[in-house]
C-alpha cells in the first residue's frame, strides 16, 4: 500500500536488551512485551503500517487483555511476520565474510510460525564492503544469495510470504560508485538464485539497504545523488514482477532515512515499484532516548513520538517529505 511501511520489531532479547541498557532500562521478557505492545497499539500507527516483523518470542506474547499479538495486529490491519533465521557464522578464508544460519529445520519452524499467526517472514544476510580485503568475496555473495533463495522457496511452500534482505553495511570508506557496482552484483546474484530455485517472484518482497557511500568515505554526495544511485541499482537488477522494496535503515538516523527515501520517490519517475520503509533503529532509538535517566519505559510519550515518526516515514514513502538542507547528504570524512 502506497504510503505504508513495515515496523521492524524483530530484535532478539540480547539486542533489544543492549538498547535498553544504554538508556538505563532493565531487560526482562515482561519489559520487552510492554515495549512491543506500545509499538503495536500506539494510536493511529495502523494508518502508516502495512506489516510488523516480530521476533519469535513476541509472536507468542499477549497484550494486557490477553490477546495474542498476531491477532491484535491483524485486527488493526497490520500483517504480522516473523524473523526465522538464527546466528551469523564467519566463512573461513574470506577475510571476515559471513553467512546466516538457520536453514536446517526451517520448514518445521515456518509451519509453527504460520500456525501462530505469522503470514510472512524476513531473512537477513549481512555483507560488508571492504575494498582493501576484497569483501564481500564472490563466495560470500553466492553463498548468501543462494541461502536467501532457498529460504524464500521454503517459506512459500509453508504459506509464508518471504522478504529477502541482502543487508550491506554502512561501514567502510568505499565511494557511492563502488557501492553501486557491488550492490548490483549482489542483487543480480540474488534474483537469479531466486528464479533458479523456482521462487514465485510476485509473491516475495525485497528489503534492501539504501545504497550509500561508506560512513568514512572521503567523498561527499548530495541526497539527490544518493537517490539517483538507488534508482539506478533497482533499474539495473530488480525484477518488475516484484512489486515493491521496503528499505532498511541500517544505522541511518530518521532524518537521513526519510530524506533519502523521499528523494528516491521523487526521482523514480515511471519505475513500477512501491518504495517504502522497514525500519527498526531509525524509529526506535529516538523513542528509547526518552527513557534516559528515568529508569523505566515512558510508554505514553514514546507512543506519541512513534506515530509522529511514522507520519514522516509515510510521507517519505510517498515522495512528499520535505527534508531540511543537508539531512540526506553524505558529508566527506577527512582525517
Q: How far is CA 123 from the centre of its chain?
A: 10
- Please tell me whether residue 108 adopts helix, strand or coil conformation: helix
Q: From residue 238, how far is each of 72, 169, 183, 210, 269 by CA, in Å?
A: 34, 20, 11, 14, 15
Tell me if the bond preceding 94 is cis, omega within 30° of 0: no
Residue 225 known to be catalytic: no
Residue 29 known to be catalytic: no
Are the beta carbons of 246 and 238 closer than 8 angstroms? no
How, if at all, do strands 49-54 and 120-127 pair?
unpaired
In whole angstroms, what is the distance from residue 132 CA to residue 95 CA? 10
Residue carrying C-alpha cell 512489486: 243
Are the beta carbons of 140 and 95 closer than 8 angstroms? no
Selected catalytic residue, list 158, 207, 228, 309: 207
In whole angstroms, what is the distance from residue 77 CA to residue 80 CA? 9
Selected catalytic residue, list 46, 165, 189, 228: 165
**Active-site residue set:** 165, 207
Amino acid at each position: 500500500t502506497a504510503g505504508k511501511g513495515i515496523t521492524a520489531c524483530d530484535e532478539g532479547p540480547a539486542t533489544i536488551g543492549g538498547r535498553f541498557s544504554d538508556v538505563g532500562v532493565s531487560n526482562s521478557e515482561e519489559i520487552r512485551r510492554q515495549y512491543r505492545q506500545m509499538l503495536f497499539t500506539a494510536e493511529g500507527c495502523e494508518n502508516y503500517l502495512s506489516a510488523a516483523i516480530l521476533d519469535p518470542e513476541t509472536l507468542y506474547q499477549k497484550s494486557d487483555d490477553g490477546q495474542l499479538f498476531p491477532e491484535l495486529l491483524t485486527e488493526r490491519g497490520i500483517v504480522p511476520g516473523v524473523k526465522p533465521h538464527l546466528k551469523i557464522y564467519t566463512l573461513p578464508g574470506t577475510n571476515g565474510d559471513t553467512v546466516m544460519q538457520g536453514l536446517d529445520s526451517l520448514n518445521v519452524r515456518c509451519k509453527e510460525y504460520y500456525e501462530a499467526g505469522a503470514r510472512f517472514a524476513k531473512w537477513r544476510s549481512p555483507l560488508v564492503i571492504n575494498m582493501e580485503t576484497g569483501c564481500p568475496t564472490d563466495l560470500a555473495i553466492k553463498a548468501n544469495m543462494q541461502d536467501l533463495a532457498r529460504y524464500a522457496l521454503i517459506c512459500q511452500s509453508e504459506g509464508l510470504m518471504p522478504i529477502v534482505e541482502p543487508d550491506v553495511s554502512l561501514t567502510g570508506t568505499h565511494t557511492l560508485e563502488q557501492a553501486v557496482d557491488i550492490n548490483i552484483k549482489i542483487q543480480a546474484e540474488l534474483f537469479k538464485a531466486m528464479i533458479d530455485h523456482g521462487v514465485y517472484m510476485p509473491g516475495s518482497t525485497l528489503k534492501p539497504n539504501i545504497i550509500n557511500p561508506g560512513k568514512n568515505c572521503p567523498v561527499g554526495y548530495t541526497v539527490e545523488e544518493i537517490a539517483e544511485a538507488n534508482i539506478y541499482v533497482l533499474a539495473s537488477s530488480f525484477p518488475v514482477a516484484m512489486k515493491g522494496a521496503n528499505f532498511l535503515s541500517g544505522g541511518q538516523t530518521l532524518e537521513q532515512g526519510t530524506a533519502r527515501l523521499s528523494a528516491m520517490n521523487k526521482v523514480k519517475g515511471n519505475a513500477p515499484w512501491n518504495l517504502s520503509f522497514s525500519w527498526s533503529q531509525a524509529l526506535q532509538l529516538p523513542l528509547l532516548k526518552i527513557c534516559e535517566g528515568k529508569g523505566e519505559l515512558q510508554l505514553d510519550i514514546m507512543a506519541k513520538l512513534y506515530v509522529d515518526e511514522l507520519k514522516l516515514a509515510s510521507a517519505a514513502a510517498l515522495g512528499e517529505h520535505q527534508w531540511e538542507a543537508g539531512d540526506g547528504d553524505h558529508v566527506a570524512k577527512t582525517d
